[in-house]
């Protein structure tokens, strides 16, 4: 059954709020996007725009006082069934078998993402034995193989090391090994290279690309680095204050960005070709305080193209334009 | 790892020396020296002391020589197992202390076990189910433990037992077992009597432990590795118990080191109130009677016991925390 | 080029206030949010009012003993008479039970003794300077020592309530004094250790470790017992204070050292050094305000330990001794279980101890949270 038209993951109007004493933070406030099988989706935005919370919402590991209040997360399971992850019990068997097995997660900080008192091998083997019915010996063999696949030298020895005994690059590879140990169909990578130096960054990105080609796995790459997006992704989603403001194929976004925020982001990348002695472009203003969201379009206070009376009053919705691009902006219609 | 052991051992030895110096100072503080007091007590009891004996004693304890020499001679005697004479009883100190020291160890250990067995689960529960009713109740009980020092709790417990149950809760043995030689039956009798002293002694330490465990665990729960464990699909209980609890245990274990002196300390007064045949009541009597050899020896032995306990807990920590085991290669 | 209009940053009023507030104000606002800590702070203020006004609140001379009034139970205070608010007590007479020959006390409901406020009583000096003889409570017409026993009497026939007032004064001031000495030692040694590092730090740290691993009570007992019996009450008082604080400064030193170590790495200190500030200026003008709040919190939390130490020592008879009065001294009479069973009111001093310890702990916790909500 080839369901290539059926996206692997479809997020529709997801809203995740954090209910705190001082007020409610609408971390994700109406995000919609899709990932197809084998595709690499980039999720881009400044810190605090809700990218990580989106990833956690998909995996249903949002921590209290946070909660998904609305929306759907449609996951096309390996058994062919499509389930709405929002409706599943977060700690139930079904969700837990999807989490870690069908969807893997790689975190930003490899040092603190490993338990300091358990060996790396212990944590990989635990994942393997949890999701697959294999013996301890077989699990260990698979773990060593996973470490080898991510390019860790001498995996039979490294498997018994603790996280603090590995270098930064090796740690991140080990993290990827853990996430891939059960052969997931979607890998969510939350800022996987932000904590690494540039050379290691390039190596890790190469690794991810190779692994994807080998396994046909989809990747959701969350980053604030537009360079990484250009290099790795087929599709891009741009988020601002918890909403998707633009999405589309990578070429369209980079060469033909529609949303004023996307354009401002792209403009602010310093280029080697720009004339010297010219001030760097910045986006005026700053991100509003989470308790102080502006009315209407969330970006309008900083937008150079805002329309008085429209953008500060009503909220735009995501509209699909030609070429597969979608924008949430009144400049392109009501 | 070896370096760690050697360092802790060296520290332990230095601490013991420090305690011995302090004990020696305590022994020497009251006016007059040991021999004059000895003669006075003997004469008061009607016995006589010959000149030869006096000279021998003076020689043995180096009383005509500077303090340092006296200290060294005394320390030498101690190492050989000669703890001197207890004046009130006119018997060697060793006999008077008897098995009281061992019993002090037993009671203190029982209190430590109680503290751990109670504080650990409650601490974990309080951290995971923060702000729940259970958390508030346990925090409240914890505060009671914190506010009521051991001996007061002992007083209250004794009073309640006496007044409402017409029972004398104190003591470590039933009246018929108290002076009997050691046997399996006596051991069982002691175990039966242990709970109340253990609880009374351990309660205030428990309160502290709960707070430490709770705050450590709360810190750990926020860390990324907990979220990664969840993201791997582990059931929630396993996520909590296998990872953050395990990490939060480390500072917990390293605090046994300081729990022990606290409990041994508290046991002194609690034993008094509860009439336990441990070293506490003996120490008090010795101090009131100005029997400084007995008192000093007891203080020294208590200190040594505590240091040994702390050293063992250091070893325990090393065994439990791989970072210590591996980092010093 | 599209016209760029700059929208003014609208900060809310609350944000304005926060950015302009001093550290002290911030701390106070955060402290205020802790209901428990606020209540406890009130309790502490009440306690220290008792400390200041102890003689005023007591109605009999705490030393006045009378065998005839030994171990009297607490009296019931009746507030209303014939529907009017007229607090009064009934007279109590001692008698000997003909069968057991034990002393019993009989209340005589016929004899009514009205209570009066702000009456004349035994003379004292208010605040230590103003001679007066006014007291809060008293009776009219009859000698007060024979009539009023709010909390009963002790073995020697001394009124427990009046003694408790003076005991509160002593116990709470020793606590403060001991903590002051510990604070001085702790800040000095902890500061040297944390700021200068190196060998000095290692030595001081080892010393602290050694002291922490000693069982305190046996050592205190030993030192206290060694005090010559001939010393006056005040000298013993001071000696006990010093003894307690000698072993208690280690905790404060640890906190101070920890703070210094973290502060040294802070960028704003490096900035001050780069600007050329002198060492003492850095310490006093930049570092100290940063950790002051932590020190205050740690100090407050150290007081209950001091109070309990003194109470324990005096309870054993090794700390303060009569004629000094403290909570521990009062509780010493409660050691005998048989006597306690007959006269449970001897245990009442336990209550202020528990209350004071709890109050200090809650306030200390509140201060600590207010000083560093993430710490």
Cis bond upstream, residue C219 (ω within 30) = no
- Cα C28 from Cα A274, distance rounded (Å): 52
CB contact under 8 A, A162 and B236: no
Strand duo A319-320 + A326-327: pairing: antiparallel
Q: What are phi and psi for residue B148, nearest 5 degrees?
A: -100, 110
Instruction: Search chain A and give the residue with CA nearest C12.
Output: A292
CB contact under 8 A, B299 and C334: no
Cis bond upstream, residue A55 (ω within 30) = no
If 0-12 CB within 10 Å is exposed, 13-18 middle and 19+ buried, where does residue A192 land?
Answer: buried
Q: Judge contact between B20 and B79, C-beta under 8 A.
A: no
Q: What are the chain A neighbours of B242 within 8 Å (beta carbons)?
A: 115, 118
For the entire predicted model, the pTM comes to 0.76
Instruction: Answer yes or no: is pLDDT of C285 > 90.
Output: no
Nearest-CB residue to A100 (from B232, B246, B321): B232
Instruction: Answer yes or no: is pLDDT of A331 > 70.
Output: yes
- Of B296, B291, B310, B306, the closest CA to residue B90 belongs to B291
Q: What are the chain B neighbours of C318 within 8 Å (beta carbons)?
A: 284, 287-288
Judged by DSSP in three states, C89 sits in strand
Residues C165-185 have pLDDT tens digits of 999 988 888 888 888 888 888
- Cα C333 from Cα C158, distance rounded (Å): 12
What pLDDT score was predicted for residue A2?
47
Average pLDDT over residues B141-164: 80
- What the block records as the tokens of A313 is 């009053």
Residues B239-298 have pLDDT tens digits of 888 888 888 887 777 777 777 788 888 888 888 888 888 888 888 888 777 777 788 888
Residues A28-37 have pLDDT tens digits of 888 889 998 8
pLDDT averaged over chain C? 79
Greatest mean pLDDT among A235-249, B18-32, B96-110 lies in A235-249
- Cα C268 from Cα C273, distance rounded (Å): 9
Partners of A34 in beta bridges: A10
What pLDDT score was predicted for residue C235?
78
Residues B34-45 have pLDDT tens digits of 666 667 666 766
What pLDDT score was predicted for residue A218?
92
Looking up tokens 């609350």 gives: C14
Instruction: Answer yes or no: is pLDDT of C19 > 50.
Output: yes
Domain with residues A9-102+184-332, CATH architecture: 3-Layer(aba) Sandwich (3.40)
CA pseudo-torsion sign A219, A225, A229, A232: negative
Instruction: Answer yes or no: is pLDDT of A237 > 90.
Output: yes
CB contact under 8 A, C6 and A284: yes
What pLDDT score was predicted for residue C6?
41
pLDDT averaged over chain B? 79
Nearest-CB residue to C226 (from B26, B303, B306): B26
Q: Judge contact between C306 and C244, C-beta under 8 A.
A: yes
CB contact under 8 A, B224 and A115: no
Residues A166-224 have pLDDT tens digits of 887 888 888 888 888 888 999 999 888 887 788 888 888 888 888 888 888 999 999 88
Strand duo A66-76 + A9-20: pairing: antiparallel
Q: What are the chain C neighbours of B291 within 8 Å (beta carbons)?
A: none
Q: Is A305 on the interface with C (CB under 8 A)?
A: yes
- Cα C181 from Cα C248, distance rounded (Å): 9
CB contact under 8 A, C7 and A302: yes
Count of pairs with CB atoms under 8 A, one residue in A, one in B: 78
Name all contacts of A209-215 with Cβ < 8 Å and 24+ positions apart: A211/A149, A211/A150, A211/A176, A211/A180, A212/A38, A212/A40, A212/A187, A215/A180, A215/A183
Between C190 and B48, the more confident residue is: C190
Q: Is C6 on the interface with A (CB under 8 A)?
A: yes
Average pLDDT over residues A125-138: 88
Looking up tokens 């510990």 gives: C182
Q: Is A285 left (phi over 0), alpha (psi -120 to 50) or beta?
A: left
CB contact under 8 A, A162 and B225: no
- What the block records as the tokens of A121 is 């091998």
Q: What is the DSSP letter of A294?
A: P
* pLDDT confidence bin for A80, thresholds 50/70/90: confident
Question: C206 vs chain B: nearest CA distance in angstroms?
Answer: 8
Share of chain B above pLDDT 70, in %: 84
Partners of C135 in beta bridges: C119
Average pLDDT over residues C52-81: 80
Nearest-CB residue to A127 (from B232, B242, B243): B232
Q: What are the chain A neighbours of C15 within 8 Å (beta carbons)?
A: 289
- Cα A88 from Cα A70, distance rounded (Å): 13
- Of A191, A202, A235, A192, the closest CA to residue A35 belongs to A235
Greatest mean pLDDT among A269-278, B62-71, B164-173, C302-311 lies in C302-311
Q: What are the chain B neighbours of A114 within 8 Å (beta carbons)?
A: 225, 228
Q: Mean pLDDT lowest for which of A251-260, B85-94, B218-227, C321-330?
A: B85-94
- Cα C145 from Cα C156, distance rounded (Å): 13
- Cα-based distances in Å from B10 to B19, B130, C56: 14, 42, 57
Residues A100-127 have pLDDT tens digits of 889 999 888 877 888 888 888 888 998 8
| DSSP secondary structure string for all residues of B205-218 | HHHHHHHHHHHHHH
Nearest-CB residue to A117 (from B224, B228, B246): B246
Instruction: Answer yes or no: is pLDDT of C3 > 50.
Output: no
Question: C368 vs chain B: nearest CA distance in angstroms?
Answer: 13
Partners of A327 in beta bridges: A246, A319
- Cα C32 from Cα A302, distance rounded (Å): 38
- Cα B183 from Cα B172, distance rounded (Å): 15
Q: Mean pLDDT lowest for which of A81-90, A308-317, B110-119?
A: A308-317
Average pLDDT over residues A221-234: 88
- What the block records as the tokens of C18 is 């926060």
* pLDDT confidence bin for B78, thresholds 50/70/90: confident
What pLDDT score was predicted for residue C374?
52
- What the block records as the tokens of B126 is 């309080």
Instruction: Answer yes or no: is pLDDT of A276 > 80.
Output: no
What pLDDT score was predicted for residue B298?
84
* pLDDT confidence bin for B30, thresholds 50/70/90: low
| DSSP secondary structure string for all residues of A194-255 | TTS-HHHHHHHHHHHHHHHHHHT-EEEEEES-HHHHHHH-SEEEEEETTEEEEEEEHHHHHH
Instruction: Answer yes or no: is pLDDT of B55 > 80.
Output: no
What pLDDT score was predicted for residue C317?
80
Nearest-CB residue to B159 (from C212, C219, C347): C347
Beta-carbon count within 10 A of B136 CB: 11
- Cα A203 from Cα A210, distance rounded (Å): 11
Q: What are phi and psi for residue C120, nearest 5 degrees?
A: -80, 145
If 0-12 CB within 10 Å is exposed, 13-18 middle and 19+ buried, where does residue A273 land?
Answer: exposed
Instruction: Answer yes or no: is pLDDT of A236 > 90.
Output: yes
Q: What are phi and psi for residue C65, nearest 5 degrees?
A: -110, 155
Beta-carbon count within 10 A of B32 CB: 12
Instruction: Search chain A and give the residue with CA nearest C2.
Output: A304
Between C15 and B247, the more confident residue is: B247
- What the block records as the tokens of A71 is 């929306």
- Cα C196 from Cα C200, distance rounded (Å): 7
Share of chain C above pLDDT 90, in %: 2
Domain extents for chain A? 9-102+184-332, 103-183
What pLDDT score was predicted for residue C4?
39
Average pLDDT over residues A311-324: 82
Q: Mean pLDDT lowest for which of A61-75, B40-54, C64-78, C96-110?
A: B40-54
């Amino acid at each position: 059954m080839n369901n290539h038209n059926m996206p692997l993951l479809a997020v529709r109007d997801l809203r995740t709020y954090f209910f705190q004493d001082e007020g409610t933070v609408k971390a994700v406030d109406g995000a919609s996007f899709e990932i197809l099988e084998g595709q690499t989706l980039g999720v881009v935005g400044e810190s605090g725009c809700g990218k990580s919370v989106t990833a956690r919402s998909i995996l249903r590991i949002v921590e209290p006082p946070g909660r998904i209040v609305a929306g759907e997360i449609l996951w096309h399971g390996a058994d062919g069934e499509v389930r709405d992850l929002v409706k599943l019990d977060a700690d139930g068997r079904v969700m837990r078998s999807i989490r870690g097995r069908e969807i893997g997660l790689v975190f930003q900080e490899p040092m603190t993402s490993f338990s300091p008192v358990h060996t790396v091998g212990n944590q990989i083997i635990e994942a393997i034995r949890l999701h697959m019915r294999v013996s301890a010996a077989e699990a260990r063999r698979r773990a060593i193989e996973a470490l080898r696949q991510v390019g860790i030298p001498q995996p039979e020895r490294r498997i018994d090391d603790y996280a603090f005994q590995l270098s930064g690059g090796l740690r991140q590879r080990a993290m990827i090994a853990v996430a891939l140990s059960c052969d997931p169909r979607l890998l969510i990578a939350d800022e996987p290279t932000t904590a690494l130096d540039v050379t290691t960054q390039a190596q890790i990105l190469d690794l991810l690309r190779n692994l994807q080609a080998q396994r046909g796995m989809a990747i959701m790459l969350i980053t604030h680095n537009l360079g990484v997006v250009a290099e790795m992704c087929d599709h891009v989603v741009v988020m601002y204050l918890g909403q998707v403001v633009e999405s589309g194929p990578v070429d369209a976004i980079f060469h033909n960005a529609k949303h004023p925020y996307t354009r401002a982001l792209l403009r602010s990348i310093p280029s080697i070709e720009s004339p010297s002695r010219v001030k760097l472009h910045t986006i005026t203003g700053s991100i509003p305080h989470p308790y102080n969201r502006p009315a209407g379009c969330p970006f309008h206070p900083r937008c150079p193209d805002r329309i008085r009376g429209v953008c500060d009053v009503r909220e735009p919705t995501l509209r699909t334009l030609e070429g597969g691009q979608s924008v949430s902006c009144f400049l392109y219609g009501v | 790892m070896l370096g760690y052991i050697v360092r802790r051992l060296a520290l332990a030895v230095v601490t013991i020396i420090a305690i011995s110096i302090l004990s020696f100072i305590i022994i020497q503080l009251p006016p007059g020296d040991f021999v004059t007091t000895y003669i006075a007590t003997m004469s008061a009891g009607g016995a006589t002391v010959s000149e030869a004996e006096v000279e021998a004693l003076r020689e043995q304890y180096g009383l005509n020589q500077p303090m340092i020499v006296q200290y060294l001679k005394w320390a030498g005697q101690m190492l050989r197992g000669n703890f001197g004479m207890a004046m009130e009883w006119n018997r060697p100190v060793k006999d008077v202390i008897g098995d009281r020291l061992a019993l002090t160890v037993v009671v203190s250990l029982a209190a430590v076990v109680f503290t751990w067995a109670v504080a650990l689960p409650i601490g974990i529960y309080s951290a995971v189910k923060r702000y729940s009713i259970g958390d508030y109740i346990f925090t409240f009980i914890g505060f009671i433990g914190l506010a009521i020092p051991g001996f007061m709790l002992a007083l209250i417990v004794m009073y309640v037992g006496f007044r409402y149950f017409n029972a004398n809760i104190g003591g470590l043995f039933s009246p018929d077992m108290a002076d009997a030689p050691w046997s399996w039956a006596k051991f069982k009798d002691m175990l039966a009597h242990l709970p109340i002293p253990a609880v009374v002694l351990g309660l205030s330490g428990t309160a502290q432990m709960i707070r430490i465990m709770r705050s450590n665990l709360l810190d750990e729960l926020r860390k990324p590795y907990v979220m990664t464990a969840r993201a791997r699909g582990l059931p929630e209980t396993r996520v909590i118990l296998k990872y953050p609890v395990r990490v939060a245990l480390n500072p917990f274990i390293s605090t046994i080191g300081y729990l022990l002196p606290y409990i041994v300390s508290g046991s002194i007064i609690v034993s008094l109130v509860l009439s336990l045949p441990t070293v506490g009541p003996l120490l008090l009597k010795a101090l009131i009677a100005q029997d400084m050899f007995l008192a000093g020896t007891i203080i020294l032995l208590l200190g040594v016991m505590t240091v040994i306990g702390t050293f063992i807990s250091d070893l325990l920590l090393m065994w439990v925390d791989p970072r210590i085991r591996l980092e010093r290669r | 080029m599209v016209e760029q209009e700059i929208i003014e940053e609208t900060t809310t009023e609350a944000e304005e206030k926060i950015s302009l507030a001093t550290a002290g104000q911030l701390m106070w606002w955060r402290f205020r949010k802790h209901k428990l800590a606020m209540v406890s702070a009130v309790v502490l203020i009440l306690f220290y009012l008792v400390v200041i006004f102890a003689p005023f609140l007591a109605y009999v001379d705490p030393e006045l003993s009378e065998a005839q009034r030994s171990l009297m139970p607490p009296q019931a205070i009746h507030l209303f008479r014939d529907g009017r608010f007229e607090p009064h007590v009934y007279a109590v007479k001692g008698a000997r039970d003909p069968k057991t020959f034990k002393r019993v006390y009989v209340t005589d409901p016929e004899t009514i003794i009205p209570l009066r406020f702000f009456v004349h009583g035994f003379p004292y000096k208010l605040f230590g300077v103003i001679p007066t003889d006014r007291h809060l409570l008293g009776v009219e017409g009859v000698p007060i020592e024979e009539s009023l026993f709010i909390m009963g009497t002790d073995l020697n026939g001394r009124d427990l309530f009046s003694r408790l007032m003076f005991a509160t004064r002593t116990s709470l001031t020793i606590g403060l004094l001991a903590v002051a000495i510990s604070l001085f030692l702790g800040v000095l040694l902890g500061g040297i250790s944390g700021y200068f590092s190196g060998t000095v730090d290692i030595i001081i740290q080892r010393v602290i470790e050694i002291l922490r691993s000693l069982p305190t009570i046996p050592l205190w007992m030993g030192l206290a017992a060694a005090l010559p019996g001939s010393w006056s009450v005040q000298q013993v008082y001071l000696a006990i204070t010093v003894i307690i604080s000698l072993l208690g400064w280690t905790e404060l030193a640890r906190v101070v050292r920890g703070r210094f170590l973290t502060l040294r790495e802070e960028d704003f200190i490096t900035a001050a050094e780069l600007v050329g500030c002198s060492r003492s200026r850095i310490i006093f003008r930049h570092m100290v305000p940063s950790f002051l709040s932590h020190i205050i919190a740690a100090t407050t939390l150290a007081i209950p330990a001091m109070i309990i130490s003194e109470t324990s020592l005096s309870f054993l008879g090794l700390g303060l001794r009569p004629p000094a009065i403290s909570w521990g001294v009062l509780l010493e009479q409660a050691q005998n279980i048989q006597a306690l069973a007959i006269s449970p009111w001897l245990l009442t001093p336990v209550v202020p101890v528990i209350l004071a310890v709890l109050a200090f702990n809650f306030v200390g916790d509140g201060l600590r949270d207010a000083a560093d909500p993430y710490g």
